[in-house]
Amino acid sequence: MRALAAILVASLLATCSAPPSVLEQIAQIGELRVVTRNTPTAFYYGADEPRGIEYELVRGFAEKLGVSLKIFIGEHVHADVASGKAHIAAANLSVADTRKHAIAFGSAYQSIVPQVIYRRGTKRPADVADLHGGRLEIAAGSSHSMLLEKMRADEPLLTWIENDATSTEELVRRVADGEIDYTIADSHEFAVIRHFYPEARAAFTLGEPIDVAWVLPEGADDLRELIAAYFAEIEATGELAAILDRYYAPSRDFDYVGSRAFVRHFEARLPLYRDLFKAAAEATGTDWRLLAAMAYQESHWNPEATSPTGVRGMMMLTERTADMMGVKDRLDAAESIMGGARYFKRVLGKIPERIPEPDRSWLAVAAYNVGFGHLEDARILTESQGGDPDDWTAVRERLPLLSEEEWHRRVPRGYAPGGQAVTYVDNVQQYYELLMWMGSREAVTTSEITIPASTASKGGALAEG
């Protein structure tokens, strides 16, 4: 990436008759302009900073270049690149040769397949012929339109409607609500949004797997080469896999009943307690969505929940924990939420501050469930096996060992249901991501942000904001 400085020097020495390349323009203005889309896999506003796979990737690329990042939402992302409004379009875009007018594609970084989506409870279509007579609606100008055009050669009766004022999520919602019969969604995006609309199901795939890549201006060879080097580097270091896993892993274990219940409770129960979560978050410096996700895992936002083991209330506090946190009535929602938030802050304070987010918070969530001492035992086992005790993924692999005698006898505190703690954190992560995205759709935010070069780095604390 040091080549960027050399390119800038070369551009300054070049004659006035030679227009600067796209990479030279980026170097001269000190800014990378990126157009994206507001989707749960590309870009959305989180608790204290933007989130999304594409956001994290372009932020990392801007950091490598040493320039500021300006990112904005666009409806016609290919045109924004072709016109020079944006240097890059990063919006989970599929590589399609027929769309390469005045644009090019960078290195592919994941592969997806288009899926036909239908409503649960209706007849599941088995192939394209079964779509005849149904209302199939897709986004206008999308790669799905070109795919259907190719298929119409063999299926002349195939018809569809192209909507130029909607998103994939909105189309999936319309299928789930019975407003249309079918739509097409790319597999990676549907894997996430199906949790919001559990009535929507994938029927079958269309065509072969398609690569996903950034869109660049045509002829921007120097920029394409640096992008290729960037993706080669983060693939080799495992950073690319970590970013993809951060967004897709919580969605892999889809549970229709659980997802349907979550959406129902999000609409009916959460509004009753949202202000209590926000008050507790303000008092403890914790993201209210994380507290709400933990509460949902504990009680499904039921303030009167009681377990056979004696834990009670919204945050399912034990009598000992309630006494420690000054909670007099565990069935009082306000007391329980505040008590749970204070206890989580107490646990988080025991996790070494050197551990970066989000690992520090996920370790604290595990300790909230299984106990700080047992978490320390799992970290001891992790280090003894050559893993990083400060990395949640590494500790997550070892926590289940605490229930095996061969291993728990080697640590100070002995047996613990470590597998249960892993499931607890996995579920909290999933609910947290759902709350982040569902909440972002309600927020009023700007469509453009700029991240200075000095702060275009990875991170973001779950326990702040």
3-state secondary structure of 200: strand
User: Rounded to an integer, what distance in angstroms lies between the CA atom of residue 427 and that of residue 297?
Assistant: 7
The one catalytic residue in 24, 56, 199, 298 is 298
Retrieve residue 359's tokens: 């690992």
Decide: 88 and 193 in contact? Cβ < 8 Å.
no
Strands (E), 188-301: 200-205, 210-212, 215-217
Q: How many residues does the chain have?
A: 465
**267 to each of 45, 77, 159, 262, how far by Cα in Å?**
20, 33, 35, 9
Does the annotation count 298 as an active-site position? yes
User: Rounded to an integer, what distance in angstroms lies between the CA atom of residue 276 and that of residue 272?
Assistant: 8
Q: How many CA atoms lie within 13 A of 319 on its CB side?
A: 2
Q: How many CB atoms lie under 10 A from the CB of residue 257?
A: 8
> Which residues contact residue 230 at a Cβ distance below 8 angstroms, ignoring those fewer than 6 apart?
1, 60, 61, 64
DSSP string, 103-155: EEE----EEE-EEEEEETTSPPP-SGGGGTTS-BEEETTSHHHHHHHHHTTT-
User: Rounded to an integer, what distance in angstroms lies between the CA atom of residue 433 and that of residue 438?
Assistant: 9
Catalytic residues: 298
